Chain A
Amino acid sequence: MTELVQSEPEGVGAHPTVPALREAFGDSILRHEVVAGDEHVVFVEPLRIVEILRWLKETPAHLYDFLSDVTAVDYGGGRPIQVVYQLYSIQHRWALRIKAELPISELEIDSVVPLWDAANWLEREVFDMFGVTFRGHPDLRRILMPETYAEGHPLRKDFPLRGRFTRAEQTRRALSREPKDYYIPADLEAGGEPQLVRWQETPEGPSEESNDR
């Protein structure tokens, strides 16, 4: 039986993208692991995450144009929270997992919504469940828990299983909620749905017209 995690694999079976990534970003590529046989995980410097992912997405030799998932892992015990980007190159049929470790004390990382629109709700989910703040996210609100949820971020390991309030308090809060709590005031005025609020900073960013897609 082989080891579950193989650190710094060499030679046969090495991922075609990882050496190029090391060459392009040097010390910002912290380490490289292979888990579950053939899944390559690259740990990178959180401060350069957008730069690295943009390179992976746009370099013609790699073209990781499909963002399968953005999620996070908390291994507990005060260890850093890992933000996970699962990438796939449709053209080359390569998969690659990028992880960025954030210390519990400062859970902030740049948003990748400018690269992939798909990251919008995924990053909201990570924010909701783990409390990671995504800088530059167009609409960073809770997505699964109610907008007025006041007990914290449920998937963190320091979160009590049954929540922080008593059941009676949770029930009281749930019943005192209004549907309008789920909308931001601008949405209500415009009569729009929350997901139509879009990020519009730069000309190359998503524009208003792209809402209708």
Chain B
Amino acid sequence: MSDDLKTSGSGLVGGLFGTGTPTFLTTKVDFVVNWARRNSLWPMPFGTACCAIEMMASAASDQDLARFGMERMAFSPRQADVLICAGRVPYKLAPVLRRIWDQMPQPKWCVSMGACASSGGVFDVYSMVQGIDTIIPVDVYVPGCPPRPEGLIYGLMMIQEKVRGESLTRHAEHRFEDPDQAGRPEADDEEVRALSGPFGNSTRQEESAGLVSEGGPATPRPLIP
């Protein structure tokens, strides 16, 4: 049977999904699935600050995000594909953001909208997350303070481009991505330290401030009576 297939030249060598090389079926299925996915992305708006105003403007009639298939803002993470984090995220909100990301079904993508969500922005202070990529994996960063609606739409079109290039066999990697690991920079600690100079930067301040890190699990302080 398999000999027949090999000699018939139909491209089905090694099963329907191929072994390493794209087959006729996988490419066509990928094309159809990606076409469907990228034209019906449902955003989950996570608006915490002024960027959310621009996000609303993007969805309103003048810019009309629905042109790109974002027909419906999904206010439940269970029915969303793209998390748009618009605005600054304090540490108190970090577990909430992580939980919302965990609740979104795969496949899912994330847009970090604006300077604060991408890097902490001007809020390099005790209470603020320095970039949501330390909490969840991010696909597209949209710069700006806040970005114009065109910027957000461009970011979402980049998500569409990313979806276009994906394949079913590679979705498994995406699916099991560990948020803890995804936030790590690819460079190792020494390299980052060398780059950040004698004063450290917003995410590495050991050099400048003599800060301490307490190992072990964080235990709740006894509540004040």
Binding site for B on A (CB under 8 A): 140-141, 145-151, 154, 159-179, 181, 184-185
Are the C-beta atoms of A167 and B204 separated by less than 8 Å?
yes
What is the bound-complex CA distance between A180 and B135, given in angstroms?
Answer: 20
Please tell me if the beta carbons of B213 and A163 are within 8 angstroms of each other in the complex. no
Number of A-B contacts (CB under 8 A): 87
In the complex, which residue of chain A has the Cβ closest to the Cβ of B180? A175
Say whether B223 contacts A147, CB under 8 Å.
yes
Tell me if B98 counts as interface (CB < 8 A to partner A).
yes
Given A171-B129, A174-B129, is A147 in contact with B220 using a C-beta cutoff of 8 Å?
A: yes
Q: Which residue of B lies closest to A133 (CB)?
A: B224
**How far is the CB of A179 from the nearest CB of chain B, in Å?**
8
If A160-B209, A161-B124, A172-B218 are given as contacts, then 10 extra A-B residue pairs at C-beta distance below 8 Å, sorted by A number, are: A154-B127, A162-B125, A162-B126, A162-B209, A166-B213, A167-B204, A171-B135, A175-B135, A177-B218, A181-B220
A165-B211 contact in complex given A146-B92, A171-B134, A175-B95, C-beta closer than 8 Å? yes
- How big is the B interface, by class? 20 to 34
CB-CB under 8 A from A141, the residues of chain B are 223-224
Cβ-closest chain B residue relative to A161: B125
A-B contact pairs, 24 of them (CB 8 A): A141-B224, A145-B127, A147-B221, A150-B218, A154-B126, A162-B205, A165-B211, A166-B205, A166-B212, A167-B202, A168-B203, A169-B214, A171-B91, A171-B135, A172-B218, A174-B94, A174-B129, A175-B94, A175-B95, A175-B98, A175-B135, A176-B217, A177-B218, A179-B95
A185 to B222, CA, bound (A): 11
| B118 part of interface (Cβ distance < 8 Å) | no
Interface members, chain B 124-173 (any A CB < 8 Å):
124-127, 129-130, 134-135
Q: Decide: A170 and B214 in contact? CB cutoff 8 A.
A: no
Contact A140 B213 (CB under 8 A): no
For residue A160, which residue of chain B has the nearest CB?
Answer: B209
Kindly state the separation between the CA atoms of A160 and B209 in the bound complex, as whole angstroms: 9
Q: Is B206 an interface residue (CB 8 A)?
A: yes
B220: which A residues are within 8 A, CB to CB? 147-148, 181
Chain A: minimal CB distance from B83 (Å): 16
Q: Which residue of B lies closest to A182 (CB)?
A: B92
B-side contacts of A159, CB under 8 Å:
126
Q: Which A residue sits closest to B134, measured CB to CB?
A: A171
With A174-B94, A175-B135 given, is the CB distance from A167 to B130 under 8 Å?
yes
The 9 closest A-B pairs by CB, nearest first: A163-B126, A174-B91, A174-B94, A169-B213, A173-B218, A148-B220, A167-B203, A166-B213, A166-B211
Residues on A with beta carbons closer than 8 Å to the beta carbon of B98? 175
